Amino acid sequence: MRLWGKIPFGAKLIGAFLIIVLLASAISYSLADRAIIQVFEEFSARSNARIAHVLSGALGEYYTRQGGWDKLNLHWLILMSRRMGRPFLLADRSGRVRFSSVAKLKDRQLSPEELARGTQIKVEDRSVGVLLIGPFQPGGSPLEQGFMSSINRAILLAGGLTALLALLLGAGLVRQVTWPLRALARASERIAGGKLDQRVELRREDELGQLGRSFNRMAANLERSERARRQMLADVSHELRTPLMIVQGGLEAFIDGVLAPSNENLSALHAKTLLLSRLVRDLRELALAEAGELSLEQAPLDPAQLLSQAGLAIKSRLTEKGITLELELPARLPKLEADAQRLEQVLLNLLSNAARATPAGGRICLSAQVRQDEVQFSVSDSGPGIAAEELPHIFERFYRGDKSRARSSGGAGLGLAIAQALVLAHGGRIWAESRPGEGATFSFTLPS
């Protein structure tokens, strides 16, 4: 079994194809040979029957003229045998052979079974002899044996040429199958070695082409995930480094006596520790949500009440900026089975983003509506909007469209990523729509 596992896949395919071709050729030869022999024997039997019918009439006339078989004209009989191309023998009614094209059969006494196979020679409805048409040796006459040998040679030659052509076509087919597999194997080894930019080029529309395209998508996803992992490590390091350096610098200043440990200075350091704590908490929450391990305490939920609570939680902040909050709700909304705390977190993340983007005197609209078997929640603002090239990336971790935006004012760039993970954990969808200068709308749906 181990030896079989070491044989190349292409060799196994060719070997299996060769066995199939040989078996098919052997079966075809056997069936063709049997069919030809059967047809030939039936043809010979019909031909012998016609010859025997004609010859028995001539021999009956001969018997009538001569008055018996005692004066047989051997020259005439031999000439008749040569003209027919078949040996025959003539026996009298007692069964003794009076003439035979085969010399060793002359004067032989035929058995009742042999006499029954012959053609009766009758004169005035009286049997006077029996005529048997040859051949009288196994395998037929030399002419028949030569004919069957030539047929068998033709069948073998045709079978050999067919097998050779089938093997050539099979070898080409095997190469068409194994070449893409070898290319996939080489690319897999390179990817395993860390070269995630490897791709395979299979310009075909069959299953192997589909396999190649799936492999390329997998490799692209791996490469993208690796880039995201490295970028996340860099972003996490960056986000943690700055507050840690501030805390470290402040503590060193206290130790060296450069700064006095006043309430103001201690509050500033405490704010940085809170920022670190929030960042670590957000990263943990995001990791749990993306791994599908975030616990959800689902219970019957009133969407209108959820929106009202979220609006009330952020209303004071919006009032300080001079932003108007509008709440648009239909007359009736179906109950939802969801985690109210998690969904309020999603809405507050979206409202916080809208508050940062909306200038003083602007407006934010918080709404809900029924869409078939879903409830759609939307947060719209009157800010400057989001550029089209940024829309595909706004739900990525640590992504901030405004690169100059301060951490203190814009957060770490995890809010939308967490919102997306929480919505997906509820079986919903989330997306953003915007036109520059016309504000932005963030929407998500939940199954009702």
203 inside domain: no
pLDDT tens sequence across 134-163: 766 555 566 667 777 887 788 778 877 877
**CA distances in angstroms from 53 to 149, 371, 424, listed in the order given:** 29, 96, 96
Q: Burial-class residue 148 by CB neighbours within 10 Å (0-12, 13-18, 19+).
A: middle
- List b or e across 16-31, with b for residues whose CB sees 16 or more CB atoms inside 10 angstroms: ebeeebeeebeeeeee
188 inside domain: yes
Indicate whether 16 pLDDT > 90: no
Closest-CA residue to 383 (of 406, 412, 352, 418): 352
pLDDT given for residue 404 in this prediction: 42
Q: Which residues, other chains included, contact 56 with Cβ-Cβ below 8 Å and sequence gap of 6+?
A: 119, 120, 121, 122, 131
Cα 347 from Cα 339, distance rounded (Å): 13
232 inside domain: no
The residue length of the chain stands at 448
pLDDT given for residue 428 in this prediction: 93
Q: How many whole angstroms from its chain centre is CA 67? A: 89
Indicate whether 409 pLDDT > 50: no
For the ranges 115-119, 176-180, 192-196, which has the lowest average pLDDT? 176-180
Domain count, the chain: 3
Are residues 274 and 412 both part of a single domain? no
The average confidence (pLDDT) of the chain is 81
228 inside domain: no
339 inside domain: yes
| pLDDT confidence band for 2 (50 / 70 / 90) | low
Contact yes or no for 303/331 (Cβ under 8 A): no
Q: What is the mean pLDDT of residues 48-74?
A: 77
pLDDT given for residue 407 in this prediction: 46
427 inside domain: yes
| pLDDT confidence band for 351 (50 / 70 / 90) | very high
| pLDDT confidence band for 92 (50 / 70 / 90) | confident
Considering the chain, what percentage of its residues have pLDDT values greater than 90? 17
Q: Choose the final residue of a domain: 270, 291, 312.
A: 291
Are residues 349 and 268 both part of a single domain? no
Highest mean pLDDT among 64-73, 212-221, 338-347: 338-347
Q: Which domain holds residue 88?
A: 1-193
Are residues 15 and 57 both part of a single domain? yes
More confident residue, 241 or 6: 241
Q: Using the structure block, give the residue that is written with the tokens 């919903």.
A: 428
Are residues 284 and 304 both part of a single domain? no
Which CATH number does the domain housing residue 372 bear?
Answer: 3.30.565.10
Are residues 62 and 156 both part of a single domain? yes
pLDDT given for residue 405 in this prediction: 43
pLDDT given for residue 142 in this prediction: 65
pLDDT tens sequence across 256-269: 888 788 888 888 88
216 inside domain: no
Indicate whether 445 pLDDT > 90: yes
Are residues 335 and 407 both part of a single domain? yes
Are residues 186 and 60 both part of a single domain? yes
| pLDDT confidence band for 371 (50 / 70 / 90) | confident
pLDDT given for residue 433 in this prediction: 93
Are residues 311 and 262 both part of a single domain? no
Cα 97 from Cα 394, distance rounded (Å): 112
Q: What is the mean pLDDT of residues 296-307?
A: 91
pLDDT tens sequence across 114-125: 888 888 888 888
Both tokens assigned to 58: 């001539």
Indicate whether 302 pLDDT > 50: yes
DSSP 96: B
Are residues 432 and 317 both part of a single domain? yes
Are residues 157 and 253 both part of a single domain? no
pLDDT given for residue 399 in this prediction: 74
| pLDDT confidence band for 63 (50 / 70 / 90) | confident
At residue 317's C-alpha, the angle toward residues 393 and 282, to 5°, is 45
Q: What is the mean pLDDT of residues 202-208?
A: 74
Are residues 312 and 428 both part of a single domain? yes
234 inside domain: no
pLDDT given for residue 99 in this prediction: 77
- Residue 411: CB atoms within 10 A of its CB come to 22
pLDDT tens sequence across 68-88: 777 666 666 666 666 666 677
Are residues 315 and 429 both part of a single domain? yes
